[in-house]
């Protein structure tokens, strides 16, 4: 039942949002060098890797070492927040339009393609990078028991105001209590969260 809802919603979403997505893609191409669509390997259900689609928000050739370092520090229990935010402070990798796309979560709209392909669900844990998954403590391995989601508990609970360990704990809460009712509740909270501009890392 959940898969049927995912497919229908993703197909309708892509059809309705196609004009806006084309405009966003055009703006990205006009304001920075490189493709509009960004492809990246992420970890899916059961630890199986897949290619995730996003609108590009970073400059080409950007290193992820600052993010790796920050997440490693958070997993050691360090507080990396700056002014209440756990995003990288003044991240030089992000383009001017990329910063706006992240605040509004519009950069994630191409993930509807991932939902349609079956790599992701509408609701689930955040799709993590392979090196992130390798760093996560073993007690959070169960998060990969379900498909990663376009939105989830972390996304509607503060996002950049929460560190990596808080995100992982929320993922475990979701995995252990996921249901149609839970998913519908998270989806209902997603649009208000986007409109508030909570942002994403």
Average pLDDT, stretch 72-98?
77
Residue 201 has pLDDT above 60, yes or no: no
Determine the pLDDT at residue 11. 97
Is residue 201 assigned to a domain?
Answer: no
Q: How confident is the model at residue 63 (pLDDT cuts 50, 70, 90)?
A: confident
Task: Decide which of 118 and 76 is more confident.
Answer: 118
Give me the domain span that covers residue 40: 3-194
**4-18, 85-99, 164-178: range with lowest mean pLDDT:** 85-99
For residue range 41-62, list pLDDT tens digits in order.
999 999 999 999 999 999 988 8
Residue 107 has pLDDT above 70, yes or no: yes
Average pLDDT, stretch 16-29?
96
Is residue 26 assigned to a domain?
Answer: yes
For 40, other C-beta atoms within 10 Å of its C-beta total 12
Is residue 120 assigned to a domain?
Answer: yes
Determine the pLDDT at residue 145. 95
Determine the pLDDT at residue 192. 82
Is residue 163 assigned to a domain?
Answer: yes
Query: Exposed/middle/buried for 173, CB within 10 Å: 0-12, 13-18, 19+?
Result: middle
Determine the pLDDT at residue 89. 62
**Alpha carbons 170 and 186: distance in angstroms, whole number:** 12
Determine the pLDDT at residue 84. 53
Q: Are 125 and 152 in contact (CB under 8 A)?
A: yes
Is residue 79 assigned to a domain?
Answer: yes
DSSP 16-50: HHHHHHHHHHHHHHHHSSS-SEEEEEEE-GGG-EE
Retrieve residue 8's tokens.
């229908």
Q: Are 168 and 151 in contact (CB under 8 A)?
A: no
Sign (positive or negative) of CA dihedral 196, 154, 160, 67: negative
**12-16, 87-91, 99-103, 173-177: range with lowest mean pLDDT:** 87-91
Determine the pLDDT at residue 76. 86
Per the structure, the count of domains in the chain is 1
Is residue 144 assigned to a domain?
Answer: yes
Is residue 200 assigned to a domain?
Answer: no
For residue range 142-179, list pLDDT tens digits in order.
999 999 999 999 988 877 778 889 899 999 999 998 89
Is residue 199 assigned to a domain?
Answer: no
Please provide the average confidence, as pLDDT, over all residues in the chain. Answer: 89
């Amino acid at each position: 039942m959940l898969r049927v809802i995912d497919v229908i919603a993703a197909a309708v979403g892509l059809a309705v949002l196609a004009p806006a997505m084309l405009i966003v893609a055009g703006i990205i191409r006009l304001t920075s060098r490189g493709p509009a669509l960004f492809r990246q390997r992420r970890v899916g259900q059961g630890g199986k890797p897949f290619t995730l689609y996003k609108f590009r928000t970073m400059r080409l050739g950007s290193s992820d070492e600052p993010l790796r370092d920050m997440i490693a520090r958070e997993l050691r229990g360090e507080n990396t927040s700056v002014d209440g935010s756990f995003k990288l402070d003044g991240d030089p990798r992000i383009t001017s339009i990329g910063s706006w796309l992240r605040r509004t979560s519009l950069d994630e709209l191409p993930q509807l393609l991932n939902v349609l392909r079956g790599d992701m669900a509408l609701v689930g844990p955040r799709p993590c990078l392979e090196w992130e998954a390798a760093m996560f403590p073993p007690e959070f391995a169960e998060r990969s028991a379900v498909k990663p989601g376009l939105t989830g508990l972390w996304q509607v609970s503060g996002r950049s105001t929460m560190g990596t360990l808080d995100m992982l704990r929320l993922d475990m809460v979701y995995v252990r209590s996921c249901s149609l009712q839970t998913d519908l509740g998270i989806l209902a909270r997603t649009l208000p969260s986007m409109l508030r501009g909570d942002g994403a890392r």
